[in-house]
Chains A and B, each alone.
Chain A
Amino acid sequence: MKKKYSSVVLTLLAVLLILSGCAGESTSNSSSEGGSKTQINFMHWRGEDKAVLDEIIAEFEKENPDIAVEMTIYPSDQYMATAQRMLQEGSTGDVFASFPGAQFESLQSAGVFEDLSGEAFVSNFDENLISVGQLDGKQLALPYQLVFNMPIYNKAMFEELGLEVPKSWSEFQALCDTLLENGITPIAFPGADIGPNQFMNSMMMNNAPDEDIFAKLQSGEEKLTNEWWVKTLEDFQLLEEKGYIQENALGTNQDSAMQMVANEEAAMLATGSYHMASLIGLNPELELDLLAPITVEESEAVYEGINTATFMLAVNSNSEKKEQAKKFVEFLSQPEIASKYANETGQHLTVNDVNYESEVLKNTAYWIDERKTRFQPRFLITNAQVEDAVLSSIEDVLGGADPMDAAAAAQKIVDENRE
């Protein structure tokens, strides 16, 4: 009998231990709010900016001794999946960064954006560059970084070979031919990872100047088998067939492609301005600028490049520390803090009066207001399966498929995913 009771007690004890183990988590969460400081969490994907953000946070905490900021960083490819869960729960990401496009749409439908419209710090941003964070007249997020998703080129190499930035598709091909004649691969294309989703933007910007083209594709008004996309695929095919991109491009990742440009084996890197600082890090002698291929005749060209106002700062509507979170966003939007962030990370920002000190940033700042760029078309595809279909058709063509066949196969998937 005694044995029987002891076994019952042991079993109940085991159950209690399991339950108390579960309860322990919520206790440890709440402890972060304890003490004299209020701790807020800043969630984003820029692991490469951690060092400078640590310094900025230290300055913020010095100015605001009652607030502590901790950072949670997820790699950008996991950010979409992970961030949304965390934000809804509310304990992580009092301040968070969002991508524009599909993630912004999805997060706003989940109601995690606090309306920042009435906040004084909104005026610290260039109003022309923050519209991507607006919806129904409300400023839900403030894009912080301004990225140019178009090829980086070796300016010194161009000057040495007497090459000028091409203004038409025929000039671009002539430029590539000259580079090839000099034993240089014209474009390093990281086809194994980000190449297709970055280069598609500048390759299609003038083939389909209508900024609603992907909205129309998703609604059924446009098709990938129409001229604008088939021509884009034909242009990709030409780059591959003429050797303007390196051999086996679909097996090359971004690190290898960057190495090609850093070693001056290739003249252009088909990614974006966010890689300029890393390229300079690999080869400090490089002189860089940006260049988008104009795939039409000069007279037909509407756009000169691609921009993305991204790393959109927002305050979580589920947070219990919204005021402290807003203080941190306000701090980040101060020109001197933004300048520090811009110069140490090699990024252009959407904040007014930023003082760009690095040569690369100074030399390319003209793209912000002197050149006609359009918002990254890929981010205007709101259905992930449609986006995959579009990108797959590029991979298909680079793998040897006929552009029309690839476009038709992709259109089939678009049709399957039309809501």
Chain B
Amino acid sequence: MKISKSIYLFFIPGLILYSIFFLFPTLSALFYSFTNWDGFSPSYQFVGLDNYDRAFTGDSIFRKTIGNNLKFMLVVVVFQTIVALAFAVIVLKNTKTTIFLRALYFFPTILSSVSVAFIWSFIYDPSLGILNQLLELVGLGFLAQNWLGNANIAIYSLAITQVWFHAGQMLIIFVAGLQAIPQDLYEVAKIEGASKWQTFRKVTWPLLAPSATIVVAYTTIQSFKAFDLVFAMTRGGPNNSTEIIATYIYEVAFRGFQFGYASAISVIFMVIIAIITFLQFKALRSDRISY
């Protein structure tokens, strides 16, 4: 079949939008990462790889932000995936109750980040917050913490908030994935005498892998870019213990007025996300279908 050349014109609007909103900013960031531009002055100087050298060898806060981001990401990816999958299994069947529960679990996703930050800041408040009060009430007062003020646990407190915020979104992906698995396979497994665990491991999980890949990849990217929640709840404190790469880029660019250096960190940030996402796709092998 001969394809008309005019069909390529349909790419133009998309290409223009992609160039304006993605390609141009990305190439600009790459360009400025080799300069000392302060973001305002009309002139700047090329500094070669100095900004990258500073990021890797001369900036202990940046290295700390990578560590914080990895801790945040690990907790969010593990807990969000498990929670979303467990809830998806619970609400899989289409009954009135499960449809209501799906809507309930999805509800936090429709809230704005600032609202979520406000709600959870109140929950975590060490003296007035309901979390510590609840722990006292059930006799677990010894577990009460300064959830956002303790530098050792603040990043995990934020991660739990992130899980609460987005687990409902992932639940929908898992429900769709689970509902797409043919029922015949479960019937065969039952006839063959497979246990529930064996059925999950040999039937459900392999066929759910594409959904799981999407969930894990999306959650990873989301947790690296959790700027709004962190900014609204802790602003990276105390003592930089919750500073993640995204909030640090903001600090360097808009408080430190070092746009050149912030651009270099942004480029490194993009590469880190690309590598982790690629490794996850490889590990979860979403392109292979076992049946």
Task: List residues of chain A with CB under 8 Å of any chain B CB.
Answer: 4, 7-8, 11-12, 14-15, 18, 77, 80-81, 84, 88, 102, 106, 109-110, 191-193, 246-253, 256, 383-385, 388, 392-393, 395-396, 398-399, 412-413, 416
Given A11-B10, A15-B12: A256 touches B251 (CB 8 Å cut-off): no
Q: Spot the interface stretch: B84-92, B232-240, B275-283.
A: B232-240
Which A residues are in CB contact (< 8 Å) with B127? 246-248, 252, 256
Determine if B124 is an interface residue (Cβ-Cβ < 8 Å).
yes
Per the bound structure, the CA–CA distance linking A392 and B128 in Å amounts to: 25
Which B residues are in CB contact (< 8 Å) with A248? 126-127, 146, 149
Q: Spot the interface stretch: B25-33, B164-172, B253-261, B265-273.
A: B253-261
Per the bound structure, the CA–CA distance linking A201 and B257 in Å amounts to: 24
**A11 with B12: CB separation less than 8 A:** yes
Beyond A388-B240, A395-B238, 9 additional pairs, beta carbon < 8 A: A11-B12, A12-B9, A81-B250, A250-B146, A250-B237, A251-B126, A251-B146, A252-B149, A384-B252
CB distance from A25 to the nearest CB of B (A): 14
Which A residues are in CB contact (< 8 Å) with B124? 251
Which B residues are in CB contact (< 8 Å) with A77? 235
**B257 with A106: CB separation less than 8 A:** yes
Per the bound structure, the CA–CA distance linking A256 and B128 in Å amounts to: 8
| 7 closest residue pairs by CB, A with B | A251-B149, A250-B149, A81-B254, A248-B126, A110-B40, A384-B255, A395-B238
**B146 with A416: CB separation less than 8 A:** no
Task: List residues of chain B with CB under 8 Å of any chain A CB.
Answer: 4, 6-7, 9-10, 12-13, 16-17, 38-41, 54, 58-61, 121, 124-128, 146-151, 234-235, 237-240, 250-257
Chain A-chain B contacts (Cβ-Cβ < 8 Å), number? 120
Which A residues are in CB contact (< 8 Å) with B121? 253
Which A residues are in CB contact (< 8 Å) with B238? 191-192, 250, 392, 395-396, 398-399
Per the bound structure, the CA–CA distance linking A398 and B239 in Å amounts to: 10
Within 8 Å by CB of A392, from B41, B54, B148, B237, lies B237
Which B residues are in CB contact (< 8 Å) with A256? 125, 127-128
**A395 with B151: CB separation less than 8 A:** yes
Per the bound structure, the CA–CA distance linking A385 and B248 in Å amounts to: 10
Per the bound structure, the CA–CA distance linking A391 and B13 in Å amounts to: 49
Per the bound structure, the CA–CA distance linking A253 and B237 in Å amounts to: 12
**A7 with B40: CB separation less than 8 A:** no
CB distance from B35 to the nearest CB of A (A): 15
**A416 with B9: CB separation less than 8 A:** no
Instruction: Return 5 A-B CB contacts under 8 Å, by A number.
Output: A81-B253, A102-B255, A248-B126, A248-B149, A395-B237
CB distance from B186 to the nearest CB of A (A): 47
